[in-house]
Chains A and B, each alone.
Chain A
Amino acid sequence: MRKDFRMSAVDLALLAVAALLALGAYAIPFGRQTAARPLIYGASAMLCTVLLLLGVAVLAGQAGVSARVLPIGLPWLGSHWGLDPLSAFFLVVVGMGGAAASLFAIGYGRHEGEPMRVLPFYPAFLGAMTLVVLAQDAFSFLVAWEVMSLLSWALVMAHHRTEGTAQAGYVYLLMAGFGTMALLLAFGLLAGPAGDYGFAAMRAAPRSTTLAAVILGLMMVGAGSKAGLAPLHVWLPLAHPAAPSHVSALMSGVMTKVALYGLIRVVFDLAGPLEWWASPAVIVMGAATAVLGILSALMATDLKRALAYSTIENVGVIVLALGLALAFRANGMTAPAALAFSAALFHIFNHAAFKSLLFMGAGNVLVATGQRNLDALGGLIHRMPVTAALMLVGAVAISALPPLNGFASEWLLFQSVLLSPDLPQAGLQIIVPAAGGMLALAAALAAAAFVRIYGVGFLGRPRTDAARSAVEADRFSLAAMGVLGLICVLAGIFPGVVLDLLAPATEAMVAARLPLQAEQAWQTLVPIAEARSTYSGLLVFAFITITSSGSAWLVHRFASRRLSRGPAWDCGFPSNLANSQYGAGSFAQPLRRVLGSILLGAREEVTMPPPGSTAPSRMIVRLRDWAWEGIYQPLAAAINTVATQANRLQFLTIRRYLSLVVGSLVSLLLVLTIWN
């Protein structure tokens, strides 16, 4: 009897989660010891690697779809866990991000001032994210989701004495609670009057397309607020930068993806078919989020905040792709739907890799200089060459430049945008190309944003003593970044491998998959047909390598045999002041004037001292957040008013309270009497 019992993949994953939670518990009594930190982070890295391998095994068909019911949770329901291709794909994302962040933290965590504020929560946070992905009933899902939110809140509050962190945590907590409420309503609608909270029952239950659209809307609010979809993104640029950098990497790289998992699971898997009119809202929200996010990233002078805004942009891109997939699926066009959906999943994977990498680089910069302000950095490429090189890989990848992975996924997305003329509805035929235009704008702005971040932060001359005295990070941090950089390069050169791996997940969600890419020569991507469009990362890589090394050789052979160093920016501007370089603000100025004046309400104020005065002249830039002023502040004021009115109930006399109780009881009875 016993010999039939084999550990399935989901059992292993649950064991790994249990181990992660146990690590968190272990950190409570023992976290203060110096030996505990590498132990905890090292064990987290290993457990995350196990999760990653499990996910890959399921995707590659080496381990079947598995499920497990545990007798915890609601008494008559238990808790259902499972590992199907979609869960497996997100398990890969969580495992990859978690393993890299943990490896990074073995070195980075040494600089943590109050490790007890991070160590107990960190492994448990990883475990909770895994549980969200594994959950197969609404109750387990919501519990895991809330635990994930609360633990990440605790991690955001790790540096609670830093200015602004407390407010960031507060806003985050409010938004998380609001989002979960929307999720709760969505699952309530999914369960319907039968009230079965298992995912299998929800999937099987018939429901009207209108109801499915309402569920989609609730999920866009609930999961979208966690992922950072505009206008629910306000907490994200506050909270993500406030956390320690390895946690920022997890929150931006992985937790937003877990939120998107919730969206995909419910909308594509559980809610059932949707009409085409449900998709334009998703597409428009995605496109608006992308443009708004990257424009804000261009304006931010705080390195980590700029990265957080860029996360918003990427979430917008992914949601746009999901909206396209919805539009194609509603029209029965399964092949284009599979293309858009694959692009979304591929971009999810890519963004998890390069955004984690970039946040780790920002963490290294923060440790080396103590500065997050771009205008206080500069010239780091000489002092932190490895970090700078790896940051360059991340920046090139996120700017969607070939041959790295960001280009491959965005190229796929553009391919699916180009299929929009085949859509039967005129509305979609207009909206989708317009969204494609926004996407192109966002991609270009992203490149500008990362040129700005990299150019101001790493090139030029150091602007402060802190930047001048920076030293390279430790080898664990660099190893973690190196692994992620390698993933970015490999996924860019061999995109077909990744696409073939995530094909089972696509097939499960949109009932079609991309053609098998492994059969193509030269690692060429063929999304639809060879005659239409193809892209080979390998050939582009080979071409770039050959031409660049060839031209470098030519230049050095015939033009300059020696390296000669001259003064920087010596083109008629021989100033020695480091502050006279292009700064973060000056680089952004043209775009701020063109786009920012409306979208971000950017205003410049110039104060010139009168002639003869020795006072400095100043230029102050003010940005406005329309979402904050137009939605959140009126909402907060309204809630405040209602609460003040309701507060009177706190100060009634005892007899009035009794009268209230009796009055409500009697009126309920009266209603019952009359109604019967």
Chain B
Amino acid sequence: MDRIAFDIAHLLAGGLVLVSFMMIYQERLTALLNVFAMHAVVLALSVSWQAHIQHAPHLYVTAAIALVFKAMIIPGALHRIIRRMGIHREVETVVGVGLTMLAGMGLVAMSIVLMLRLTEAADTFAREDLAFALSVVLLGLLMMVTRRNAVSQVVGFMSLENGLILAATGAKGMPLVVEISVAFSVLIAFIVIGVFLFRIRERFDTIDLGALEEYRGENQ
């Protein structure tokens, strides 16, 4: 039982990393949002599996929050936004996909090596989980750095936050309050960023961050 429990937890957390990689090479915004929704679904699965093996019913709430907010409401809202802005067919990257993938692999390798070394004394579940969680966080950061569209930066930020939740659920005993407050802060960040998107767009007719830079009188 334990062996299987570990393998499934491992599979789900690894799946999250895999979906993060998928996000990195999505060049179209619509596809990116779909993959992000999938990211959240995998997260919800992973969290509920943790809830099952840790016998921690409150983690089911966490999983439900992830499923409802991150897999449905936020991607749906972002879909609406990009449709209203008419940018759902846009293609954007700054750094080439191959290079980004390579960098991402390097980051994952680094975080796994680092985490496995640092947490030798810890529980096996927590170790694997933490290593994958750090990878997800770093991949989210990488995404924020390599994109220039504000929407994909928001997605990068949200996927980073997913990594944090994965880390928190893997380490036993995160109180529900923390999870709920994190969820709400993400929601609020989403609202604020959404409002900003429209404001930026109103002003510059685009949500390409390069426009902001030009506005400040600078080039790349």
For A654, list chain B residues within 8 Å (CB): 209, 212-213
**Looking at the complex, which one of B114, B118, B213 makes contact with A653 (CB distance below 8 Å)?**
B213
Tell whether A658 is near chain B: CB-to-CB under 8 Å: yes
Instruction: Looking at the assembled complex, report how far the CB atom of B100 sits from the nearest CB atom of chain A, in whole angstroms.
Output: 12
For A558, list chain B residues within 8 Å (CB): none
Does B114 lie within 8 Å of A672, measured CB to CB? yes
Does B141 lie within 8 Å of A665, measured CB to CB? yes
**Looking at the complex, which one of B113, B118, B142, B145 makes contact with A655 (CB distance below 8 Å)?**
B145
How many residues does chain A have at the interface if contact means C-beta atoms less than 8 Å apart? 15
A661 to B110 Cα, complex, angstroms: 17
Does A673 lie within 8 Å of B114, measured CB to CB? yes
Interface size class of B (residues with CB under 8 A): 20 to 34
A182 to B68 Cα, complex, angstroms: 56
Instruction: Looking at the assembled complex, report how far the CB atom of A661 sits from the nearest CB atom of chain B, in whole angstroms.
Output: 8
Q: Which residue of A lies closest to B147 (CB)?
A: A655
For A670, list chain B residues within 8 Å (CB): 110
Does A676 lie within 8 Å of B213, measured CB to CB? no
A673 to B134 Cα, complex, angstroms: 13
Does A662 lie within 8 Å of B141, measured CB to CB? yes
Does A669 lie within 8 Å of B110, measured CB to CB? yes
Does B138 lie within 8 Å of A676, measured CB to CB? no
With A666-B107, A673-B117 as given contacts, are A658 and B213 in contact (CB-CB < 8 Å)?
Answer: no
B contacts with A: majority SS = helix
A-contact 0/1 string along B184-214, CB 8 Å cutoff = 0000000000000000000000000100110
A665 to B140 Cα, complex, angstroms: 13
For A673, list chain B residues within 8 Å (CB): 110, 113-114, 117
For A573, list chain B residues within 8 Å (CB): none
Instruction: Looking at the assembled complex, report how far the CB atom of A657 sits from the nearest CB atom of chain B, in whole angstroms.
Output: 10
Q: Which residue of A lies closest to B117 (CB)?
A: A676
Tell whether A548 is near chain B: CB-to-CB under 8 Å: no
Tell whether A659 is near chain B: CB-to-CB under 8 Å: yes
Instruction: Looking at the assembled complex, report how far the CB atom of B135 sits from the nearest CB atom of chain A, in whole angstroms.
Output: 11
Q: Which residue of A lies closest to B107 (CB)?
A: A666
Tell whether A5 is near chain B: CB-to-CB under 8 Å: no
Give A632-676 interface residues, CB cut-off 8 Å to B.
651, 653-655, 658-659, 661-662, 665-666, 669-670, 672-673, 676
With A665-B141, A666-B107 as given contacts, are A655 and B114 in contact (CB-CB < 8 Å)?
Answer: no
Tell whether B220 is near chain A: CB-to-CB under 8 Å: yes
Tell whether B20 is near chain A: CB-to-CB under 8 Å: no
Q: Which residue of A lies closest to B146 (CB)?
A: A655
Does B141 lie within 8 Å of A669, measured CB to CB? no
A670 to B141 Cα, complex, angstroms: 16
**Looking at the complex, which one of B94, B118, B142, B209 makes contact with A676 (CB distance below 8 Å)?**
B118
Q: Which residue of B lies closest to A660 (CB)?
A: B145
Instruction: Looking at the assembled complex, report how far the CB atom of A654 sits from the nearest CB atom of chain B, in whole angstroms.
Output: 6
For B148, list chain A residues within 8 Å (CB): 655
Q: Which residue of A lies closest to B144 (CB)?
A: A658
A662 to B106 Cα, complex, angstroms: 14
Tell whether B111 is near chain A: CB-to-CB under 8 Å: yes
Q: Which residue of B lies closest to A659 (CB)?
A: B145
For B216, list chain A residues within 8 Å (CB): 651
With A654-B213, A655-B209, A673-B114 as given contacts, are A666 and B145 in contact (CB-CB < 8 Å)?
Answer: no
Does B213 lie within 8 Å of A662, measured CB to CB? no
Instruction: Looking at the assembled complex, report how far the CB atom of A625 sits from the nearest CB atom of chain B, in whole angstroms.
Output: 42
Tell whether B218 is near chain A: CB-to-CB under 8 Å: yes
Q: Which residue of A lies closest to B134 (CB)?
A: A669
Does A666 lie within 8 Å of B114, measured CB to CB? no
Does B142 lie within 8 Å of A662, measured CB to CB? yes
Does A662 lie within 8 Å of B145, measured CB to CB? yes
For A661, list chain B residues within 8 Å (CB): 141
Instruction: Looking at the assembled complex, report how far the CB atom of B130 sits from the nearest CB atom of chain A, in whole angstroms.
Output: 13
A577 to B187 Cα, complex, angstroms: 86
A-contact 0/1 string along B111-136, CB 8 Å cutoff = 10110011000000000000000000
A654 to B117 Cα, complex, angstroms: 34
A673 to B213 Cα, complex, angstroms: 35
Q: Which residue of B lies closest to A652 (CB)?
A: B218
A672 to B111 Cα, complex, angstroms: 10
Q: Which residue of A lies closest to B212 (CB)?
A: A654
A659 to B141 Cα, complex, angstroms: 9
Does A658 lie within 8 Å of B138, measured CB to CB? no
Instruction: Looking at the assembled complex, report how far the CB atom of A157 sits from the nearest CB atom of chain B, in whole angstroms.
Output: 36
A651 to B219 Cα, complex, angstroms: 11
For A653, list chain B residues within 8 Å (CB): 209, 213, 218, 220
Instruction: Looking at the assembled complex, report how far the CB atom of A666 sits from the nearest CB atom of chain B, in whole angstroms.
Output: 7
Does A658 lie within 8 Å of B145, measured CB to CB? yes
Report, nearest first, the 10 A-B pairs whose CB atoms are least far apart: A673-B114, A653-B213, A662-B141, A659-B145, A676-B117, A658-B145, A662-B145, A658-B144, A673-B113, A654-B209
Sample 22 A-B pairs with CB under 8 A, ordered by A number.
A651-B216, A651-B218, A653-B213, A653-B218, A653-B220, A654-B212, A655-B94, A655-B209, A658-B141, A658-B145, A659-B145, A661-B141, A662-B145, A665-B138, A666-B110, A666-B138, A670-B110, A672-B118, A673-B113, A673-B114, A676-B114, A676-B117
Interfacial residues, chain B to chain A (CB-CB below 8 A): 94, 107, 110-111, 113-114, 117-118, 138, 141-142, 144-145, 148, 209, 212-213, 216, 218, 220
- Known: A658-B141, A669-B114, A673-B117; 4 extra A-B contacts, CB below 8 A, are A651-B218, A654-B213, A665-B141, A666-B138
